[in-house]
Amino acid sequence: MANKLRIIPLGGLGEIGKNMMLFEYGNNSLLVDAGLMFPENDMLGIDYIIPDFRYLLDKKDTVRGIIITHGHEDHTGAIKHVMAELDAPIYATPLTRGLLEVKLRDAKLHDKVTLNTINAGDRVHIGPFDVEFFHVCHSIPDGVGLGINTPAGLIVHSGDFKFDHTPVDGWPTDYAKLAEFSGRGVLALLSDSTNADKAGWTPSEAVIDPAFDQVFRDASGRILIATFASLISRIQQVANAAFRHGRKMALVGTSMVENAKMAQKLGYLEVPEGLIVSTDEALRMQPKKVAIMTTGTQGEPSSILGRLSEGRNRQFDLLPNDTVVLSSHPIPGNEEMVHRTINKLLQRGARVIYDPIAPVHVSGHASAEEMKLLMHLVKPKHFVPIHGELRHLNQHAAIAREVGIPNENIVVVENGAVLEFSDGKMSVGERIPGGYVFVDGTGVGDIGPGVMREREALAENGFVIVNMRVSKSGQLVGKPDIISRGFVFVRDADELFEAAQSEIAAAAAKANGNLKDKIQNTLSDFFYSETKRRPMVFALVNEL
C-alpha cells in the first residue's frame, strides 16, 4: 500500500484554544503548534488544559520537527509539556522563538531543546515535509502560515490570520505567496475559523489609534489598559498613544513585563527611551501623567484587574478618576466573568471603556469576507476548517460551499479525527484520543472526569460528615456527630439532622458489615428526598 498523508487535529478543533495539528507521512511526522486552553467556569480548580497527545508517545521517534506559528498562548502554552516528552527541533520566527525561550527557561528545559529560527519566506525540509513559511497578519507580530509540500500534495495551513492592510507593524499578509500556491495546485486548505460567524471584514488594527487618542484626551486621571500579555501589537499602540499624549507607561504583571522585554530586545516593540517606567515610579507620579498596562481581561479573579475590581490588589488600588480600558474581547465562555468584573470596576468608581463602547480592541482573526478571499487566493481542492468551536467550524464550511468548494470536498471534524489523503482524495479514517488533559497545580493529567464530577458536586451541594462510634460487634454506640458545610444553613436544619439520626439508626441496625456504604447511600437519598439536593456524604466509622 502506498503511503498516505494523515492530518490529525490533536487540539483546537471543536474548541477555542489548545491548538495542535499533526501531519504524518509513513514513519515521519510534523507537529504544528502546542497550545493551552484556559478552563471554563465549571472546571473548578483547573489552571489550564493542554491537548491530549498520548497518540504520539509510543511513536516519539517519528517526530521530525515542531513548528510554532506564532507566540500566543493557545499555540505555545503547552510547549513545556510537549518538550518534556518529545525530542525534536522547534522551528519558529524570531519573536515566537523569543517567547518560547522564556517558557522553556522557566521550565528548565532550555538546554535540552533545539530551537531553529525561521523567517517568513523561508523554505525548510523537515523529514519528507518541505515547508514554506509565509507571513500573516494577526494581533501579534511575526505570525506565519504554512505551505507544506508533502509527497501527497501541497497543504496550506493558515495559522491565525486576518487581512489587515494597515497593521501596526506595517507588514501585511503575503497575498502573492498565497496566489502562487494556487498556481501550483493546493490539495487542501486548513483555515482559522475563530470569527466565521462574523460577517464582513475584521477592522484594521489602525482603528484603535484614534480610539486610544480619544481615551487619552478625555482622561483626567490615570489610564489603566488591560490586554493579553502576548498582544505585543497592542503594547506598541499604547506606547505610541502614551508618547503622543505626554504620559509615561508602566507594565504590571510578570508575563507582560517578560514578553515586552523580549519583544523590545528583538526589535518587535519600539519604545522611545525613558517612556517605560517602573510601577513604583508610575505610582508616585501625577495620575494624569501615567498609563498602566496590565493583564486580566478575562475576569480572572487572581489577575491584577480582577483584584483591583475587588479592592484587594496589594501594590495599588483604584483612584477616583481612573479610566480602565479593556483592550480585548471575552474568550467564548468568559463573557459572564468579564461583565461581572466591569460592573465591579464601575461600582468602585472607575470609568470603564471597552468595545463596543469605543473601538479599543479589534479581533486578530479574519471575518467571513476575508475567509472567502483566502479561499479564492489559494483555490484549494479540499477544505478543512480549523481553530474554533463546532459552530465556527460549521459556519466556515458553509462559507466554503458559498464560494463554490464542493460539499464532498469539505469536512468538519473535531479533535482526534484522522484525515487521510491519497491519490488526491480526502477521507476520514480512524479516531484517536483527542480530549482534555487538565493541569492543576503541579499535576498534569492526574485530574480526570471523576475528580471533576466530585468538585462539581461539592461546589453545588456541599458535604455532610457522619462521625460514628461502633462497638466490636458492629452496634452503633450513642448518636453520631453530623457536620455539614455548604449544604444547608445549619441553625435551621435541626429537624432535618434529627430525622437523619433516625435514618442512620435504622440503616445501622440493618447493615451487614457494609456500614459505611449503607449509611452514605441511605443519607444521600434521604437528603435528596428532603431537600432536592444531594450533598456528598462521608461516613466515618470509629471502632471502639
Give the interface with Zn ion as residue ranges (CB under 5 A).
72, 74, 160
H-run or E-run covering 232: helix 232-244
* Residue closer to Zn ion, measured from CB, 128 or 333: 333
Other CB atoms within 10 A of residue 185 CB:
12
Burial degree of 300 (CB within 10 A; 0-12, 13-18, 19+): middle
CB 134 to Zn ion: min, Å:
16
Other CB atoms within 10 A of residue 368 CB:
20
* Residue closer to Zn ion, measured from CB, 134 or 527: 134
List the Cα angle 158/63/5 in 5-degree steps.
Answer: 60
* Residue closer to Zn ion, measured from CB, 381 or 387: 387
CB 97 to Zn ion: min, Å:
16
CB 76 to Zn ion: min, Å:
10
The active-site residue, picked from 33, 74, 192, 322, is: 192
Helix (H, G, I), strand (E, B) or coil at 293: strand
Please say whether the dihedral angle defined by the alpha carbons of residues 426, 427, 431 and 436, taken in this order, is positive or negative. positive
Contacts for 112-116: CB closer than 8 Å, 24+ residues apart: 112/83, 113/83, 114/89, 114/90, 115/89, 115/90, 116/89, 116/90, 116/91, 116/92
* Residue closer to Zn ion, measured from CB, 73 or 440: 73
The active-site residue, picked from 75, 135, 365, 396, is: 365
DSSP code at position 289: G
Beta pairing partners, 448: none
| Residue 365 bears catalytic tag | yes
Cα 333 from Cα 451, distance rounded (Å) = 22
Query: Which set of grid coordinates corresponds to residue 311?
Result: 479592592
Cα 484 from Cα 466, distance rounded (Å) = 9
Cα 524 from Cα 463, distance rounded (Å) = 10
CB 493 to Zn ion: min, Å:
49
CB 70 to Zn ion: min, Å:
6
Q: What is the largest CA-CA distance in the chain?
A: 86
* Residue closer to Zn ion, measured from CB, 127 or 143: 143
Q: How do strand 90-92 and strand 63-67 relate by DSSP bridges?
A: parallel
* Residue closer to Zn ion, measured from CB, 74 or 440: 74
* Residue closer to Zn ion, measured from CB, 64 or 365: 365
CB 22 to Zn ion: min, Å:
17
CB 279 to Zn ion: min, Å:
27
Cα 254 to Cα 4, 309, 366, 396: the distances in Å are 45, 19, 30, 37
Which residues are designated catalytic? 192, 365
